[in-house]
Structure 1
Amino acid sequence: MEREERSLAPGASEETAVGRRVFAEGHGSVLTDLDGNQYIDFAAGALTQSLGHCHPEVVSALTEQASKLWNVHDSATPRRAELCDLLDRLLPEYLNTYTFLSTGAEVVEAALRVIQAVAPPGRNRIGALRHGFHGKTMGSRMLVHWDIGNQAFAGNSVLGYSPYCYRCPLELEYPSCGVRCASLVRRHISDKPNVSALVFEPVLGAAGVIVPPPGYWEQINDACRDNGVLLVADEVLTGGGRTGTFLASEALGIEPDLVTLSKGMANGFPFGVLAGRESILRSPESATAGSSASTYASNPLGIAAAAATLEVVERENLTERVRTLGAVLEEGLRALHSRYDVLGEVRGLGLLYGLEFVRDPASREPAPDIARAVYTHALDMGLRVSLGGHILRLAPPFTMDRTLIEEGLAILDRSMARAVSDAPALPDRPVTAMGDAAR
């Protein structure tokens, strides 16, 4: 690590900077570092390893493809049609047209190009949600008004309220609020005839796994339909079964026109999919030559990894397994929530959860130092989670067994107990939470 630091630019993720581990191997749900220490991986890589590390079928598919063909621009290759057939079976029937790219942010940018191409004259603005995260490219940053330094790139986006009930910006309480945040988003959509699309995360991931309450998406979904506004679901994190349905949109009753997918689709191998309605992605405006091409578009290696991953997801009915294991995870986390006052809120769906740490339940003041201590103690005890500011995110592989889930929960319990007992001696260093820059 000292050798690396002489050459690498700073700016690693907070979990990497705090954890300071050199991971050498990963198999299934377990990581091994260079010193031979092992860790249950509740973060599944970068919330990407749906099937765990080095799943044999994905390794075999990649190895076989690597010996045959790596890149021929976006030309047809044998497995691309197979992948299209797989997606036809796994995605809602109306999302039947696809573009294959490399990363989540690249897919979001592709969706933005499609929106701009098909938007009627005068509809030159795009809606997005506060606390949202769609990537680090300029277009994705502009959606959520994420400025860097003295550079402001707000663009034409209009921000609506996200369903962050625990920290309601309107200082209301659910359900007596009548889901006021949704009605304000609906007003943006209905009162602004220049809005062409709403780009959103069904469950806001980087902000701390913010799950909308009943009534939120029902209002917004209907308003978009009634006003000719495209619904663009960013399911880079949630897509592929992470929340117990192949798309989180399905669980929440949303019918998006476009969907962006990446992280878990190829079990962590760089790959992304833009899925959409045929009427949009095959329209003359969006289907001009080169509009869905890029250097690594339809990369044969990515296609091989994605096809192998999704074949396992389908054959082994892993979305049902996610729901089963998710119930075990939720029960254990609710028990921790009842025991530790510093654990302000637990929220999630399936195998995706966020733990929000606070100084005390009354003030709800964010406590990044406590979250950092829990993360560090858990890592020292053999559990890896995802750290960002005062929030820990959990996203175990779909293939993890119940015993490891329970062992991980026990480690979390011990790490919280130790963090609470050490809390008075902890330095109070301000840390920017995940997504703060985008807020």
Structure 2
Amino acid sequence: MTGIRQARQLEREARHLAPGASEETEHGRRVFAEGRGPVLTDLDGNQYLDFAAGTLTQSLGHGHPEVVEALTAQAHKLWNVHDSATPDRAELLELLARLLPGHLDTYAFFSTGAEVVEAALRVVQSTAALGRNRIGALRHGFHGKTMGARMLVHWDVGHQSFSGNSVLGYAPYCYRCPLELEYPSCGVRCAALVERHIARKPNVSALVFEPVLGAAGVVVPPPGYWERVGEACREGGVLLVADEVLTGGGRTGAFLASELLGLEPDLAMLAKGTANGFPFAVLAGRSELLRSPEAATPGAYASTYAGNPLGIAAAHATLEVIERDRLIERVGTLGARVGERLAALDERFDQLGQVRGLGLLWGLEFVSDPGSRTPAPDIARAVYTTALDLGLRVALGGHVLRLAPPFTIDEHLLDEGLTLLGEAIERVTGGPTAERVVA
């Protein structure tokens, strides 16, 4: 429950703070005061295992000493000189060249996920051949809240319609197949339709996609989907633009999720975990795209805070630890452990419609009953708040809970968090000895 000091602080804020916070903030009602590793402490001194890792951002956990040291040292030197070269920028570029696939050898730096998505769209639009004036995207995708990012997925606001020139294809959401088919007997029909309406269309310049749908609930594609779509795009001359804002940096058990799925994107966008939660984003691409005269006009990759020295310091420290300590391998090992524990929960509770994930990125989709698969946001919300009261923080979004623990979490704390999650689900859904929270 929210303690008295937190309640007072929230009341004080509410006098001037605009509403519209995330669901987890609205329903969690916590005031977090400190973070160390995988643990958060609130204003009343209560502690929580943070399986949401900030906003799915803290690859190394909160307050990692090497990132703190790098930021502190840089803060004493220099904060912002627009996009001028600084002593550490070349080192970060070389580190990225070691970590990313070899064909992605040219980089531009930005501040946020939405900003880097917009930059990628500008590259696509400026280099597209005459007649290729449309861009493909996937239903259920999320690429940010800026105009271009919203237009990709036809996300209108209010009474204004700015759907733009994008063509929407079917995402591989097997649990809720819009074609009412079953995998694998469906023959991956959703991929065939993306191939027909996007990859083979002569007026489409690029397909912008999340390799694993993040905001939609960690929707992992079935075998065959990206193999077919990727090959068709390559044959059709359609650029592959991978939104790895969430998945990039090792979260799924490879530096890019695209690598796990056999894709070779022409452009890739990274942000969230790249600098351990500090605002920093990377646009990685083929040299011939990012260096093309049409894309590399003066100021094309510059903005007020893009590539600032603090962000470079945080990103370099974060990625250096990930490389040195072989944390991506650890993500794969811990991810298998999480998968086994969540599979057991999936078998235990009917209200868990589906559990899915890769590495240390997992989604739990709650339903009112397994037959109808009716989304149950009330159950997800109750599990979220109950878990908080037990000392576990996860990410809430509609009827799905997402888990993204830091790569550095100890096995025993990982197990403890998963045990708390199971206890929260049991209390909410009514286990053998549980007090039911949601009617």
Partner of 1:64: 73
Matches within 5 A, 1:203-214: 203-214=212-223
Instruction: For residue 192 of structure 1, report the CA deviation from its aligned partner.
Output: 2.2
Partner of 2:162: 153
Partner of 1:361: 370
3-state SS in 2 of match to 1:136: coil
Could you list the runs of 5+ residues in structure 2 that have no partner in the other structure? 1-9
Q: CA separation in 2, counterparts of 1:84 and 1:334?
A: 40
Partner of 1:278: 287
The RMSD of aligned alpha carbons is 1.0
- Counterpart pick for 2:184 among 175, 179, 195: 175
- Counterpart pick for 1:254 among 251, 263, 277: 263
Partner of 1:20: 29
Q: Is the 8 A contact 2:199 2:238 kept in 1?
A: no
Report whether the alignment pairs 1:87 with 2:96. yes
Q: CA separation in 2, counterparts of 1:83 and 1:163?
A: 35
Report whether the alignment pairs 1:202 with 2:222. no
Q: CA separation in 2, counterparts of 1:45 and 1:378?
A: 16
Matches within 5 A, 1:12-411: 12-411=21-420
Q: Is the 8 A contact 2:352 2:367 kept in 1?
A: yes
Give the length in aligned residue pairs: 427
Q: CA separation in 1, counterparts of 2:158 and 2:199?
A: 34
Partner of 1:426: 438
3-state SS in 2 of match to 1:78: coil
Instruction: For residue 424 of structure 1, report the CA deviation from its aligned partner.
Output: 7.3
Matched to 1:214, the amino acid is P
Q: CA separation in 2, counterparts of 1:381 and 1:37?
A: 10
Matched to 2:37, the amino acid is G
Query: 1:131-152: per-residue Cα shift (whole Å, max 9, x none)?
Result: 0000000000000000111011
Q: Is the 8 A contact 1:203 1:248 kept in 2?
A: yes
Matched to 2:365, the amino acid is E
3-state SS in 2 of match to 1:54: coil
Matched to 1:83, the amino acid is L
Q: Is the 8 A contact 1:344 1:364 kept in 2?
A: yes
3-state SS in 1 of match to 2:88: helix
Q: Is the 8 A contact 2:117 2:143 kept in 1?
A: yes
Tell me: CA distance 1:36–1:178, structure 2 relative to 1, closer, same or farther (3 Å): same
Matched to 2:86, the amino acid is T
Q: Is the 8 A contact 1:42 1:396 kept in 2?
A: yes
Could you list the runs of 5+ residues in structure 1 that have no partner in the other structure? 428-439
Instruction: For residue 188 of structure 1, report the CA deviation from its aligned partner.
Output: 1.1
TM-score, structure 2 normalization: 0.96
Partner of 1:432: none
Instruction: For residue 375 of structure 1, report the CA deviation from its aligned partner.
Output: 0.4
Query: 1:276-311: per-residue Cα shift (whole Å, max 9, x none)?
Result: 000100011101110001111210000000000000
Q: Is the 8 A contact 2:169 2:198 kept in 1?
A: no
Q: CA separation in 2, counterparts of 1:193 and 1:424?
A: 56
Partner of 1:436: none
3-state SS in 1 of match to 2:276: coil
Q: Is the 8 A contact 1:370 1:423 kept in 2?
A: no
Q: Is the 8 A contact 1:189 1:223 kept in 2?
A: no
Query: 1:51-71: per-residue Cα shift (whole Å, max 9, x none)?
Result: 000000000000000000000
Partner of 2:4: none
Instruction: For residue 191 of structure 1, report the CA deviation from its aligned partner.
Output: 4.4
Q: CA separation in 2, counterparts of 1:346 and 1:141?
A: 28
Query: 1:372-391: per-residue Cα shift (whole Å, max 9, x none)?
Result: 11001100000000001100
Tell me: CA distance 1:125–1:423, structure 2 relative to 1, closer, same or farther (3 Å): farther
Matched to 1:426, the amino acid is V
Instruction: For residue 193 of structure 1, report the CA deviation from its aligned partner.
Output: 1.1
Q: CA separation in 1, counterparts of 2:435 and 2:240?
A: 44
Matched to 1:89, the amino acid is R
Partner of 2:7: none
- Counterpart pick for 1:6 among 9, 15, 35: 15
TM-score, structure 1 normalization: 0.96
Query: 1:115-161: per-residue Cα shift (whole Å, max 9, x none)?
Result: 01000111110000000000000000000000111011100000000
Q: CA separation in 2, counterparts of 1:46 and 1:245?
A: 20
Matched to 1:51, the amino acid is L
Matched to 1:189, the amino acid is I
